[in-house]
Chain A
Amino acid sequence: MRDRSFSGRVYRWLLRLYPPGFRENYSGPMEKEFRDEVGEASGPLALASFWVRLIADLAVSVPAQLSREVIQDAKHTLRLWSKRPWHAGFAIAALAIGIGANTGVFSVVEALLLRSLPFQEPGRLVLLHQFIPPHDSAKQFHDWRKQSTYLADAVLFEEIDLNLDAVRGVTRAHVAQTSGNFFSMLGAKLFLGQGFDPEDDVDAPGVGLPGRNAVAVISYRLWQQLFGGDPKVLGATIKINGSPLTVVGVAPAGFDYPNQAALWKPAAFSPGNNGWGTIARLKPGISWSQARAAFAVEAEQRSPEPPATDEFSLRPNMSSLQDGLAGPFKNASLMFMGAVLLVLLIACTNIANLLIARTADRAAELSLRSALGASRARLARQLLVECLLLSLVAALAGLLVADWTTSLAAKVQPPPLGAQSYSLLDGRVLAFTLTMTLVTPLMFGLLPLLYIRRIHAFPTQTSSATSGSRWVRESLVVAQVMLTVILLAGSVSLGRAFIQLMRIDRGYDVNGVVTVSVSLDGTTYQMNKRQLPYFEQVLDRIRRLPGVRAASATEFLPLYASSFVGGPFGLDGRPAKRSSSMVPVMSGYFQTMGGRILRGREFTDAEVRSGAKVAVVNERFAAGFGAPEEAVGHQLTIGNETPWKVIGVVKGTEYETDPTTASGNQVFIPSVSPGSFSSTFVARVDGRAQDHLAMVRDAIQSVDPRVPVFSVKTMQQRLDEIFVAPRFYRTAIWLFAGFALLLAVIGIYGIVSHAVVQRTQELGIRIALGRTPAQLRTMLLFQGLLIVLMGAVLGIVGACLTGRFLETVISGARTVDWETAVSLVLFLSLVASLSIWSATRRIAGLDVTSILRSE
């Protein structure tokens, strides 16, 4: 007898909120009671109060019953886990690494690519690459930016490390000289003061003139460091390279663009200064494609296409400031995101496999239970709770992995802006982790769940369900092998790119070289034009140190290509096809660095001291004019300057870090006024370079302790610093690939050993029919290898596709070739064979008679 009244239907509907087990047992009596009570309630008031009590009862008891069942399922899960702690531990660890690495890498992607920059309307800011607007004078630049049809405003900035007089002696500070509209264009409100404006820009060489131009906005941090956060800082004086600047503003906390700048000052324009960077804001209403088109036209007009032979010239282009800041890290981060997603996917297939295997083992028990009335939904929920619990525990453990990943990433590729620091405590990152935690159980739980449906639908046909599960599991292993091959191929590709990067002939011997940078800017040596005597005195002391074989100095050390000077040098008045960088060096430089002189010789002490017009050119420059060795004796020319006589040709010294842009034209001239830019002493020593660092530094400081000495490092350390990111990428991808391989091997082992258990009877009969265990094991080996091969072939196809992507992301990475592909497949087959062979070792010990008896 069912209650067909409206209220009865409503109550029946509400009862569905209870978990199915509870509903099955009690919905009958509850409905009956409901009818009785409704019948007893007299009048609308009583009825209303009855309903209120009923709803309150539901509100209390539904969550109680639900959580009760979930807790029961969770307890059940923990019992399962404690029975097979290795399985559970492995699944949790694999997932924790997967989820953790994903979270960590995502926090980097979020900071670099998704978090909006701390500027006004950051989406409209652009970075112009390989393009400097007219900049011979302040007026020229400001006129240009005002007449632009597609830019609302534009800013020039030049970055340079300069000496800053601090409380405790002189330190180095990252300074940006910017056009006066810098802060207003970015829309950054100064924390204190008015800052400077375009009228403060001047036309002058170097970093400026006294007066209006000699002002500075300092960073919030510098304000705290130098002035202790004194609000009366405006009007105070700080000394940069010995010249006083008046503080006219304090930047807002965290503002450090560009490149952790500590100080900004109005620009000094001079013709020929090509060190400027350009950022701009798009005009309102102008779309990105319109702006790009307009920019392309302008870039074309101002710098026509270079000769096609010049593969090193980069074309001007426009990117969003966000992408520009992320630079190469953008692609690297995306590549990593892809790699860690693959790892997570592999971990998921593995766990799915594990769960299906276990569910298959329990198939008989489960079909019995479902026959006894435990509903399919209940079984499914039990599995779901187990999956959720698994991912929850893994996500918590994964936070440790994520934290480690994030701090590692901050070391390897520090964020370009302070406001972009990598953090796990970010809304988007937390949402991502939560999504991962909820989605991964579906990824590895879905197939086992579908499998449960099969059991229930055909409770008697367990064998068909089992073979179905075998098919699913084998497909999972195929997928797993495929993903593993993709990762392995990627790791080989990256590894090769890295080896190539390391094997590049840098043109010098990195071992046994000590390097120490100094700056004479703002010191008495610079003011009295006595830089050279200082350098000679220091070199004299270094050369007399025990264990030092040779010493010299250069104004630009290899690997530090920034703030280069150079120009359109030529030979005997014939210009070279592309401009050359100019490196002033002291005597004995090539000997010290282990460079190779192909023809002629390098500078002598006397030539450097007298400022002789002699030069050494690199092989590439000389090759532009015929046989490289024949350049010796010719005249090195540029514009109307007095020519230099070429006295030597050297093997190119690698200045760039990126092999694709490396080895441009280089000319070396005697260093007549060293001490600016990044002047560095170099010394070749016997034995380990590290052991001589302190000694060389002390020798330099003994000449004059007031000269700031910094970057006391071996050349190898500098190289390692430069290549920390590629080295890290390689190592990380290798680790991921190794991890994937481990998971794949475990997956293969699992499926084969499970097949042995399930086919025990069949195998027993085969043995009874005369097969030897070895024959059976071989049969299983081939069956297993077939699965591996299918996955491997798919994996190679996938690797070719992802390889194309890798080529665009990592310079030097190449798609896998056939040799690599074949060796990868062979390697994987070998590992898989070992795994299969050990998984089938049970067969040898099968007791045929007992198997047949049970049959």
Chain B
Amino acid sequence: MSPKDQSATNDLTPLSPAIFHILLSLGEGERHGYAIKREISARTQGKLKLGPGVLYGSINKMLELGLIEESDERPDPHLDDERRRYYRITAYGRKAAQAEAVRMRELVQLAAARFGAPRHA
């Protein structure tokens, strides 16, 4: 990571939960919006349900920031609807997610030092 990228990703943190979760989803591979949303809902046991406005608002912002990019390839033309758009994470997006994870880890370590580690998370 170049020092410039380093400082840029640090400027982005803390990421909003929606953005971080979207990055997590796209970390596994390309997804369209609806798939991202369902995956996040499943991952959080339904606690984080992104509405379409918030979802695409976040995606729009992430595209502009260069965290993700639109993918031209359609995985399965038969199943696909032309209106679906697929997204994939960029290298910069990965770095931002890493930076956010580091930030969270430091926070967790601080909390553990101060309050003790919980018996079960």
Contact = CB atoms under 8 A, between A and B. Distances in A.
Contacts of A64: 53, 57
B51 A32 contact: no
Interface in A12-66: 18, 22, 25-26, 28-34, 36, 53-54, 56-58, 60-62, 64-65
Interface of A: 1, 18, 22, 25-26, 28-34, 36, 53-54, 56-58, 60-62, 64-65, 68
Interface string B54-74: 101101110000000000000
Given A28-B85, A60-B54, A61-B51, 19 more contacts: A1-B81, A22-B60, A25-B56, A26-B59, A29-B56, A30-B33, A30-B56, A32-B81, A32-B84, A33-B52, A53-B49, A54-B51, A54-B52, A57-B53, A57-B54, A58-B53, A62-B53, A64-B53, A64-B57
A413 to B, nearest CB: 56
A29 B51 contact: no
Contact of A34 (B52, B61, B81, B85): B52
Contacts of A34: 52
Shortest 6 CB-CB distances between A and B: which pairs? A57-B51, A61-B53, A28-B83, A26-B56, A30-B52, A57-B53
A25 B60 contact: yes
B20 interface: no
A29 B84 contact: yes
Contacts of B57: 22, 61, 64-65, 68
A22 B54 CA distance: 12
B37 interface: yes
9 contacts: A28-B85, A29-B56, A31-B83, A54-B51, A57-B51, A60-B53, A60-B54, A61-B56, A65-B57
Nearest to A53: B51
B85 A29 contact: yes
Given A25-B60, A28-B83, A33 B34 contact: yes
Most A-side CB within 10 Å, residue of B32, B33, B49, B57: B57
A29 B37 CA distance: 12
B56 to A, nearest CB: 4
Given A22-B60, A26-B60, A28-B83, A33 B37 contact: yes
Contacts of A54: 51-52
B115 to A, nearest CB: 33
B15 to A, nearest CB: 16
Contacts of B59: 26
Nearest to B60: A22
B35 to A, nearest CB: 10
Contacts of B53: 18, 30, 57-58, 60-62, 64-65
Nearest to B53: A61
A34 B49 CA distance: 14
A33 B53 CA distance: 11
B33 A29 contact: yes
A36 B34 contact: yes
A34 B34 CA distance: 9
A732 to B, nearest CB: 51
Contacts of B34: 29, 32-33, 36
Contacts of A60: 51, 53-54
A61 B54 contact: yes
Contacts of B51: 53-54, 56-58, 60-61
A40 to B, nearest CB: 10
Contacts of A18: 53
A62 B53 CA distance: 7
Contacts of B81: 1, 32
A371 to B, nearest CB: 21
B80 to A, nearest CB: 11
A60 B55 CA distance: 11
B32 A29 contact: yes
A22 B60 CA distance: 8
Nearest to B52: A30
Most A-side CB within 10 Å, residue of B33, B52, B59, B61: B52
Nearest to B34: A33
A62 B60 CA distance: 13
Contacts of B54: 57, 60-61
Nearest to A36: B34
Interface in B72-114: 81, 83-85
A374 to B, nearest CB: 15
Nearest to A11: B52
A56 to B, nearest CB: 7
B2 to A, nearest CB: 26
Contacts of B52: 30, 33-34, 54, 57
A25 B49 CA distance: 22
B46 to A, nearest CB: 12
A54 B59 CA distance: 18
A316 B117 CA distance: 96
A159 B95 CA distance: 85
Contacts of A57: 51-54
Contacts of B84: 29, 32
Nearest to B86: A29
A28 B32 CA distance: 12
A318 to B, nearest CB: 65
Contacts of A53: 49, 51
Contacts of B56: 22, 25-26, 29-30, 61
Most B-side CB within 10 Å, residue of A22, A30, A60, A64: A30
A28 B60 CA distance: 14
A25 B61 CA distance: 12
Contacts of A1: 81
Nearest to B54: A61
Contacts of B85: 28-29
Interface in B26-58: 32-34, 37, 49, 51-54, 56-57
Nearest to A21: B60
Contacts of A32: 34, 81, 83-84
Most B-side CB within 10 Å, residue of A1, A25, A28, A33: A33
B40 to A, nearest CB: 13
A670 B59 CA distance: 97
Nearest to A55: B51
